[in-house]
Amino acid sequence: MKQGNKINYTTGLFPGSVISLFIILQLIAFGLKAQGEKKADIRLNFELKDSMNICKAMVTSEGKPVKEVDIHFYVKRLFSLLPIGKAVKTDDNGESNTIFPLDLPGDKNGNILVIAKIEEDENYGNAEAQAEIKWGTLSNPENDHWANRSLSASREKAPTYLIVASNLIIMVIWGTIFFVFLQVFRIRKESSLIKKNK
């Protein structure tokens, strides 16, 4: 190998070393952070007071109540979680309360799934608890016209007028197109017959 083509290994390794060192330091920092986070437990209690649905979240860590931690309350909906009010901080007893609306649609038995969360807390990280309670309004699929034909129903329940009208239009248009195709093939057939006769 010629002298001029020698690779400078020291320079070549330098960026790699820096990146590796950076990754190691990041891993150490992450580990230390994870070690610093304590585990929090959330327990949910429900109570009906003065015609109000109150959800209580009790937060403890290592058997002791956790103060001043934000608790987010949600209700599970079809695609995502519906937030109930703003986050509420726990008091000295580790308790956080929120009032739930009375008109939340529940399942066919009136049940809703309540979720309480601690989200990205600097001391406790993330924690979650969920419980089912009969606080929802009854929703009966039969009453929601799911069984009837409508524009908002499933594909099998498309309105009859829509099925008839659309199929009629499709048949007329595509029928004409097929007729045109047929004429084009007849042109070819006629031409080939003339050729044969010649």
Partner 1 sequence: MENTQQQTTAHPAATGHQSEIIRQELLAPIGKYSPLNRLWIGFLSVIVLWGIAIYARQCIWGLGTTAMRNYVSWGLYISTFVFFIGISHSGTLVSAILRITNKEWRRPITRSAELLTWVSLLFGGMMPIIDMGRPERIPNLILFGRLQSPLVWDIICIGTYFTGSTIFLYLPMIPDIAICRDRLSGNASRFRKWIYRKLSLGWKDTAANWHKLEKTMKIMTIIIMPIAVSVHTVVGYIFAMTLRPGWNSTVFGPYFVAGALYSGSAAVVLVMVAFRKMYHLEKYITLKQFNYMGQLVLALTIIYAYFNVNEYAVPAYKMESAEGFLLKELFQGRYATIFWTLQFGTVLFPAFILAFPKGRTPLFASIACIIIVIGAWVKRYIIVIPTLLHPFMPIQKVPVTWAEYFPNWVEWSITIAALAGIFLVITLFAKIFPIISVWEVEEGQEFERKKKMVDAMIEKENAQQLQPQSN
Q: Which residues contact partner 1 (rule: CB under 8 A)?
A: 80, 83, 151-155, 158-159, 162-163, 166, 170, 173-174, 176-177, 179-181, 183-184, 186-188, 190-195, 197
Where does the chain show beta strands of DSSP type E?
41-49, 52-61, 64-65, 70-76, 81-83, 88-89, 95-100, 112-121, 125-133
Closest to partner 1 by CB, 18 vs 171, is 171
Shortest distance in whole angstroms from residue 54 CB to partner 1: 24
CA separation for the pair 113, 136 (Å, rounded): 9
Closest distance between partner 1 and the C-beta of residue 161, in Å? 11
Closest distance to partner 1 from the beta carbon of 162 (Å): 6
Judged by beta carbon, residue 58 or residue 71, the one nearer partner 1 is 71
Asked if residue 42 lies in contact with residue 114, where contact means CB atoms within 8 angstroms, the answer is: no
Nearer to partner 1, 52 or 162 (CB): 162
Q: Shortest distance, CB of residue 36 to partner 1, whole angstroms?
A: 25
**If we measure between CA atoms, which residue out of 50, 45, 39, 131 comes closest to residue 95?**
45
Q: Measured from the CB atom, is 9 or 161 closer to partner 1?
A: 161
Check if the beta carbon of residue 151 is closer than 8 Å to that of residue 162: yes
**Token digits for 113?**
């799934």
Give the span between the Cα atoms of 95 and 59, in whole angstroms.
6
> Minimum Å distance from CB 197 to partner 1?
6
Phi/psi for 7 (5° steps) reads: -90, 140
Nearer Cβ to partner 1, position 28 or 163? 163
**The tokens of 78 are what?**
């079809």
